[in-house]
A and B are shown apart, each in its own frame.
Chain A
Amino acid sequence: QKEVEQNSGPLSVPEGAIASLNCTYSDRVSQSFFWYRQYSGKSPELIMSIYSNGDKEDGRFTAQLNKASQYVSLLIRDSQPSDSATYLCAVNENEKLTFGTGTRLTIIP
């Protein structure tokens, strides 16, 4: 069974610091990886996609992928209170997304 694992948290980070979120996956043939942000009571919002090994940066967000280690991470620089949310890692295979259980992130002012 394909699995995507995340530390459920909660992860508390001071405002202005770097938040680091991690995700591992079990299926070696997975090719597409995504990070979604979900505020309480709202729907998931896509914030990053990554397909190749290495880093991908978008504003304050950096996604990192290591296919050999089956590991994908999300770094949030200069964390803001508005970054407080649950972050879902998702892995795509055969047109279907498998989600991790999510990491609850709290930014402390």
Chain B
Amino acid sequence: DTEVTQTPKHLVMGMTNKKSLKCEQHMGHRAMYWYKQKAKKPPELMFVYSYEKLSINESVPSRFSPECPNSSLLNLHLHALQPEDSALYLCASSPRADTQYFGPGTRLTVL
């Protein structure tokens, strides 16, 4: 079983809203990731939680903040986003921080 779940599937938000994306896996994987993917581009890594340690892509703006409440759950908190943040947000998990399995993604639109 390599299922990673993400909610919601779609999200439309205004630039002043605060929202959160949720990612969950019950495979005992020790690493979880957030990616952003724009149309016709490859996924771009935003954050990594690996063995309870957070790594940040320094190019990611502070209006995105990750939270890892436990080893199965990874949230991405969104605040004061811009229209250019509209994208497909992908969560992935990995049993050994190498092979990554992606969730279905959240399609985010910022108005």
A residues within 8 Å of B by Cβ? 32, 34, 36, 42-46, 49, 88, 90, 92, 95-97, 99-102
B residues within 8 Å of A by Cβ? 2, 31, 41-43, 45, 48, 50, 55, 88, 90, 94, 97-105
Which among A42, A92, A96, A102 has the greatest number of chain B C-beta atoms within 10 A? A96
Cα-based distance from A45 to B99 in the complex (angstroms): 11
Chain B positions within 8 Å of A95 at CB level: 31, 48, 50, 55, 94, 97-98
B102 touches A43 (CB 8 A): yes
A42 touches B104 (CB 8 A): yes
Beyond A44-B90, A95-B31, whether A101 also contacts B42 by CB under 8 A is yes
Beyond A95-B31, A96-B48, whether A101 also contacts B102 by CB under 8 A is no
Counting residue pairs across A and B whose Cβ atoms lie within 8 Å, the total is: 45
Q: Mostly helix, strand, loop or mixed at chain A's interface?
A: strand
Beyond A43-B90, A44-B90, whether A101 also contacts B105 by CB under 8 A is no
Shortest Cβ distance from A50 into chain B, in angstroms? 11
Q: Which of A34, A43, A97 contacts B104 (CB 8 A)?
A: A43
Cα-based distance from A49 to B43 in the complex (angstroms): 18
B50 touches A100 (CB 8 A): no
Cα-based distance from A24 to B42 in the complex (angstroms): 16
Chain B positions within 8 Å of A101 at CB level: 41-42
Chain A positions within 8 Å of B55 at CB level: 95-96
A99 touches B42 (CB 8 A): yes
Chain A positions within 8 Å of B98 at CB level: 32, 92, 95
A88 touches B42 (CB 8 A): yes
What are 8 sample pairs from A and B whose C-beta atoms fall under 8 A apart?
A32-B98, A36-B102, A42-B104, A43-B90, A46-B100, A46-B102, A96-B48, A99-B43
